Structure 1
Amino acid sequence: MKKFIVFFMLLFLVFNFEKYVFADEPDISAEAAILIDADTGKILFEKNIHEKMFPASTTKMLTAIIAIEKGNLDQKVTVDKETPYEIAGSHIALEPDEIVTMKDLIYATLIESANDAAAVIGKQISGSTEEFAKLMNSKAKEIGTKNSNFVNANGLHDDNHFTTAYDLAMIAKYAMKNDFFKSIVSSYTYTIEPTNKKSVSRPLKSSNKLIYGTEKINVNGSNVAIKYDGANGIKTGYTPEAQSCLVSSAERNGQKLISVVLKTNGNNVFIDTHKLLNYGFDSFSSVKLAFKNEFIDNINVENGDKEIVTGIVGNDLFSLVPKGRESEIKRKIVLPEKISAPISKGQVIGKIELELDGKVIETGNIVSAMEVNQKGALEVVSINSKDSIFKKWWVWLIILLLGWRISVEVKRRRIRKNRRQSYLYIK
């Protein structure tokens, strides 16, 4: 009987092996998706992350961050005569010659996803949609995108307007470091006050139900609220070609995640996002792997006024690590056997690598904890150093006396030369 029970248990485990090993792997309906650590950019989950996709209104993240960085929030912008009649889809009914602030346009772009507001931003900053698109592509490359091309400010469909899940994650990671951007996307309502063309206020509301929704969705067999605990942004998107898209951000206990879901239908965009964020928070923990100023080693110094220099960690090192595997992380210290003077305090002299499963998961600099001058040389490497010779009052006195003596000698020689020339002329 006991043998039969053991056999049955083994059989059960064999047929359910995949379920137990991959239970935490999210099953994503979207065509492309990614989950990253918002602090480091480390990829925690990926599905077709470099596949070209249409971004729809997630484009507006880039438009908004450019507007915040290059525009003046209090600037009064006059709506051009063409935009109100050129724009399809979501809008705030801007009128020709209407005057609105840049701040209101940015809120309308991110919260209401207003295509007209985004277009006006682009024209205001660059003079035309085409020139603003050039600025968008330049900024995207600066941020670290790899396979994107933007042709408009709002994401309305164009076959040449495309990006990837990875690139949108990089844009979101960059944008969420801006406090003003973050404050907007974490809100879901805003009001534009009456303008010269509108006698009533315009209330705006976000379509990102992750930060306010009350309806229920089915996530892995459980009915849960569509609002996600810890969600603080960022941007939805939809066109018939792109289908439903969502770039999201969430934070719990200091752990920050960004997810991107592209090309799915209806509430699946929120269901997939729940799955990704749950996977990140349930499967990984933020671990401090090294401490700033942590002692690493002493390195021999050649031709220095000190025999050794102390190497320390330059900055705190954090990384998201699979839960339960924190103790498996290995350190690799890369330092030279000796180093030549001069060495300045804070100078990078090596690096520290943290490895898991033979792969480097985080790196950091090892820096000098002290200043080392060349042996026998005057300490003039850094005039601002507290031990610099130029901090001594008597050094400056000597310099002044030498300068005065040289000046006097030059003057005497000039006088003698003039006297000789005068004597020869008279003679």
Structure 2
Amino acid sequence: MKKYMLTVLFIILMLGTSFKLDKKDQIKKIQLQSYSAIVIDQYSGRILYSKNSDIKLPMASTTKIMTTIIALEKGNLNDMVIVSKRAAAVGGSSAGLKEGEKLTLEELLYGLMLRSGNDAAIAIAEHIGGSVDRFIEMMNEKAIEIGAYNTSFKTPHGLDADGHYTTAEDLAKITAYAMKNEVFNKIVSTREISSGVSGKFNRSYSNINKFLYRVENADGVKTGYTGGAGRCLVASVKHEYGRFICVVLNSADRWRDAEELVKYAKHNYKFIKVYSKGEQVKSLRVFGGKSKYVIAETEEDIYVPLRDEEMQYIRTEVFVPSVVFSPIRRGDILGNLAVFYDGNIIAKYPVISDRDVDRKNLINTIRETFRSFSLD
């Protein structure tokens, strides 16, 4: 990291470049028609642009992102679900489900995310949670786990309801988490489908998310509209170093707004490599383990999104406990590597254990005790 900083500084001095940006590299202006918006880097979580992103707002069917997360983590794609009267009768956008119809959880998820089926949302909630109320509790518990502290779910589908809200920042966090799930990613990036791993579906589904067709490398995620929420969109765009996650809430032109957010991120940020995959960052003492130490290492290559004027001013710091307790498995998250700019954390990445450390048994403990006596 130090070598990298010195290299950057040397190049700047040699070229006689001032710290001022050239005209062509100046921060691109952005004009949005949404009340609230944000674009983040998925892997670091860095906010690249935001507008009213901390204001609590209704989010319509983008709610279904969380519904899908819970279903994938708690259910099985091959589960057979019987559509209830309540599910079949719900209003708003529909996947066309009929009372008493049997179909797989996998098909319900495609109906939920491609067709924005409110009927599918209720059927999923009843199947996974046992009741809609319990499923909503699970959604809120997951939001807290992800760190979406300004979010409150009251329904699994997103129809307007008192106390049902999120923020653009929270919704971006939830989506960044969801897009790490390969099945979730596959569902939301699908344009048309009539069968899956669970077999042939009862019907075919086409994706109503126009963003997939408008922007190169777009791979999701979800549209939404209600009278209270306005037109909403959560969008994802792949690039060489990861994904941009965009959230647009209450917009007069959600498609254009999301495109502008992606253009802004691409124009103003470069991805700079600061660590390689598996690079050792810290040694930690292990309590009660067969090994006394474990090494914290980077999980992946770390590329930080930076503006030109930020590059020579960043620093990194590792946040891990002074002691960790056995047992530990290789790949367990031990802490975070944080990137600072101007005294603030702008990005965080997990650091993981480089090895397994089993807990010492009683015999190991006795042997060590006798060994310490003999040294005395």
TM interval, short-chain normalised: 0.7 to 0.9
Question: Residues 153-164 of structure 1 correspond to what in structure 2 (within 5 A)?
Answer: 153-164=156-167
**Is residue 2:251 matched to residue 1:264?**
yes
**Is residue 2:147 matched to residue 1:133?**
no
CA pair 118-288 structure 1, distance change in 2 beyond 3 A: same
CA-CA distance at 1:362 after TM superposition: 4.4
Q: 2:346 aligns to what? A: 361
- If the length of structure 1 is used for normalisation, what is the TM-score? 0.66
RMSD over equivalenced CA pairs, Å:
4.0
Letter in 1 for 2:246: S
Q: 1:38 aligns to what? A: 42
Find 1:279's aligned residue among 240, 257, 264: 264
Q: What runs of 5+ residues in structure 2 fail to find an aligned partner? A: 1-20, 284-292, 368-376
Q: 2:6 aligns to what? A: none
Find 1:322's aligned residue among 290, 306, 311: 306
CA-CA distance at 1:80 after TM superposition: 1.3
Q: 2:71 aligns to what? A: 67
CA-CA distance at 1:98 after TM superposition: 0.9
Q: What runs of 5+ residues in structure 1 fail to find an aligned partner? A: 1-16, 194-199, 213-226, 299-309, 371-380, 396-427
Question: Residues 3-402 of structure 1 correspond to what in structure 2 (within 5 A)?
Answer: 23-85=27-89, 87-191=90-194, 202-212=203-213, 227-265=214-252, 268-291=253-276, 314-315=297-298, 318-325=302-309, 327-331=311-315, 354-362=339-347
Is the partner of 1:82 in helix, strand or coil? Answer: helix
Is the partner of 1:156 in helix, strand or coil? Answer: coil
- Inter-partner Cα distance in structure 2 for 1:95 and 1:367: 47
CA contact (8 A) 1:331 1:352 kept: no
- If the length of structure 2 is used for normalisation, what is the TM-score? 0.74
Letter in 2 for 1:241: G
CA-CA distance at 1:23 after TM superposition: 4.8
- Inter-partner Cα distance in structure 1 for 2:246 and 2:215: 13
CA contact (8 A) 1:244 1:269 kept: yes
CA pair 275-363 structure 1, distance change in 2 beyond 3 A: closer
Question: Residues 407-422 of structure 1 correspond to what in structure 2 (within 5 A)?
Answer: none
Superposed CA offset, 1:296-323 (max 9, x none): 899xxxxxxxxxxx99872156243334
CA pair 104-295 structure 1, distance change in 2 beyond 3 A: closer
Runs of 4+ in structure 1 displaced over 4 angstroms? 19-23, 292-298, 310-313, 332-335, 348-354, 362-370, 381-384
CA-CA distance at 1:293 after TM superposition: 6.2
- Inter-partner Cα distance in structure 2 for 1:366 and 1:183: 27
CA-CA distance at 1:25 after TM superposition: 3.3
CA pair 296-31 structure 1, distance change in 2 beyond 3 A: closer
Is the partner of 2:222 in helix, strand or coil? Answer: strand
Letter in 2 for 1:33: A
CA pair 321-334 structure 1, distance change in 2 beyond 3 A: closer
Q: 1:218 aligns to what? A: none
Is the partner of 1:182 in helix, strand or coil? Answer: helix
| Identity across matched positions, percent | 35
CA pair 77-34 structure 1, distance change in 2 beyond 3 A: same
Q: 1:401 aligns to what? A: none
After superposing the two structures, state which structure 1 stretch, 314-323 or 76-85, moved more: 314-323
After superposing the two structures, state which structure 1 stretch, 237-246 or 321-330, moved more: 321-330
CA pair 325-105 structure 1, distance change in 2 beyond 3 A: same
CA-CA distance at 1:349 after TM superposition: 12
CA pair 95-170 structure 1, distance change in 2 beyond 3 A: same
CA contact (8 A) 1:311 1:366 kept: no
- Inter-partner Cα distance in structure 2 for 1:62 and 1:350: 25
CA contact (8 A) 1:210 1:270 kept: yes
- Inter-partner Cα distance in structure 1 for 2:354 and 2:34: 50
CA pair 295-103 structure 1, distance change in 2 beyond 3 A: closer
CA-CA distance at 1:327 after TM superposition: 4.5
Letter in 1 for 2:232: C
Letter in 2 for 1:240: G
- Inter-partner Cα distance in structure 2 for 1:84 and 1:297: 55
- Inter-partner Cα distance in structure 2 for 1:241 and 1:141: 24
Letter in 1 for 2:228: E
Letter in 2 for 1:139: K
CA pair 382-145 structure 1, distance change in 2 beyond 3 A: closer
Letter in 1 for 2:215: Y
CA pair 46-296 structure 1, distance change in 2 beyond 3 A: closer
CA pair 187-324 structure 1, distance change in 2 beyond 3 A: same
The answer to which structure, 1 or 2, has the higher relative contact order (CA under 8 A, 6+ apart) is 2
